[in-house]
Amino acid sequence: MMGLLWNLGAFLLALGILIAVHEFGHFWVARRCGVFVEKFSIGFGKSLWRKVGKDGTEYTIAMIPLGGYVKMLDERVEAVPAERRHMAFNNKKLWQRSAIVAAGPIANFLFAIFAYWIVFLVGLPAVKPVIGEVAPQSIAAEAGIVPGMELKSISGLKTADWESVNMAMISHIGDESMSLTARDPQSGMIVDRTLDLAHWSFDPESERVLTTLGITPFYPKFTLIISQLVEDGAAIRAGLRLNDKIVAVDDQPVTTWQQVVDSVRSHPEQALTITVKRGEETVSLPLTPAAKTLDNGEVIGYAGFASARDPWPEANLIHLQYGPIEAIGKAAERTWQLVTITFDMVTKLVTGDVAMKNLSGPISIAKGAGMTADIGILSFLGFLALISVNLGIVNLLPLPVLDGGHLMFFAIEAVTRRPVSERVQEIGFRVGSAILVALMAVALFNDFTRL
């Protein structure tokens, strides 16, 4: 229950921030263009808080926090006194109306740059994208990818860390190939490789992009020293302690943690003898793993302990931190990567290269908000930047109910030298609303199927 409330709270906070940013973009440019703004609302429905400013604008926070709007003086909506017609939106020049409409998505992109600027200014610990293992006969192996390679870029997008790698690779869903550059572990030279994706199958909801390509990131090896114990688990009941070093299972010496894991998993509710080194003493303990049923029906043994990893090599660790000026460039670069990737994914949804089942709605966004907020403020800011870019691009889609639809009508007006008729716009708004509702319905359905 607490997890649900946490996700909901993080979601509402994220949504409130991003809506305010988007609508403020419209509001700020409208004011600069001399348009009178009657109301600035965050949310819909009954007002929870309202205040009329000295500028005459009513500022409101409403009950339903799933959107917002800026109500401008407009003769198409209601009668406007003659002395105020110069402040009506519909009486402004075409470039001014276009600027006002485009300002919302632009504000979202600028906010993403600002969020990433803070992240890079404070600094973010990360790991270089060094490959640990490559599965035989996999797509990566056939392309000549080998363990130890450090990925430098994917299709021109720089990949300083694994987050960048994942985003860049996911954007290639539906493509025929993927090009990358990497540092060869033997020669130290930068080499180019091309992955053939003709037979690539990837489901973002159940698979990891790297795994489907045959790539496993480098991780320090697990030690044989117990570093975690689950309360009231089989390991504690057997008498195992933190910092015990496992040296044998059923009198068979073990040299890797995977050997221990395999032995436990293959013996549900069956007795094992675990031999550990405890200080200078060697102790043998009887362990009976509990039975655990996986989603596929398989029953495995579960002991309730975990080991520690060896320390990360210093050469693999990086700290993505920059000065105030350099951080702006890095933030703009990361935002542009997000814009490019998101635009590609939206295009592939339209063309069918990406299945509609991959479309996510508010429930998935709420989960993401809760998870990143739980990790820390920097992760939450990165999440806000991602959603802000998505919001900006979605609003630029040429659907009449969205900002992109208005811009489409303005483009037609620029060519024909006259506004699109109100009847055509009304039909467009109805069609656009129907399409948007259908997309939301699909996204919500996908969310519920993932619960």
Instruction: For residue 351, give Cα distances in angstroms to 46, 144, 345, 398.
Output: 40, 31, 10, 15
pLDDT of residue 8: 61
Enumerate the CATH 2.30.42.10 domain ranges in the chain, comma separated: 126-219+316-320, 222-310
Inter-axis angle of helices 2-32 and 377-395, to 10 degrees? 50
Active site residue 426: no
pLDDT of residue 140: 92
Strand order in the sheet with 150-154: 157-158, 150-154, 177-183, 190-196
* C-alpha angle 98-35-47 in degrees, rounded to nearest 5: 105
Instruction: For residue 5, give Cα distances in angstroms to 8, 169, 369, 371.
Output: 5, 33, 12, 12
Pick the catalytic residue from 23, 133, 280, 333. 23
Please name the fold of domain 222-310: Pdz3 Domain (2.30.42)
**Please, what sign has the CA dihedral across residues 426, 430, 435, 441?**
positive
pLDDT of residue 446: 55
Give residue 76's Cα distance to chain centre.
Answer: 40
Using CA atoms, how far apart are residues 354 and 77, in angstroms rounded to an integer? 40
Contact 146, 136 (CB under 8 A): no
Contact 245, 224 (CB under 8 A): yes
DSSP element (H, E) containing 387: helix 377-395
DSSP element (H, E) containing 281: strand 281-287
pLDDT per residue of the chain (451 residues) written in tens, 0 to 9: 555 566 666 667 777 888 889 999 999 999 999 999 999 898 888 888 888 888 889 999 888 777 788 899 988 888 888 888 899 898 899 999 999 999 999 999 999 999 999 999 998 888 899 999 999 999 999 999 999 999 999 988 888 888 888 888 887 877 889 999 999 998 889 999 999 988 887 766 667 888 889 999 998 988 999 999 998 889 999 999 999 999 999 989 999 999 999 999 999 999 999 999 998 899 999 999 999 888 778 889 899 999 988 888 888 888 888 999 999 999 998 898 888 877 777 776 666 656 555 555 444 444 444 444 445 677 788 888 888 888 888 888 888 878 888 899 889 889 988 888 878 778 877 877 777 666 666 555 555 555 5
Using CA atoms, how far apart are residues 104 and 68, in angstroms rounded to an integer? 11
The amino acid that residue 130 corresponds to is V
Residues paired with 340 in a beta bridge = none
Using CA atoms, how far apart are residues 125 and 321, in angstroms rounded to an integer? 8
Q: What is the DSSP string of 362-377?
A: HHHHHHHHHHHHHH-H
Q: Which CATH class is domain 126-219+316-320?
A: mainly beta
Rg, the chain, Cα only: 28
In angstroms, how far apart are the furthest CA atoms of the chain?
96
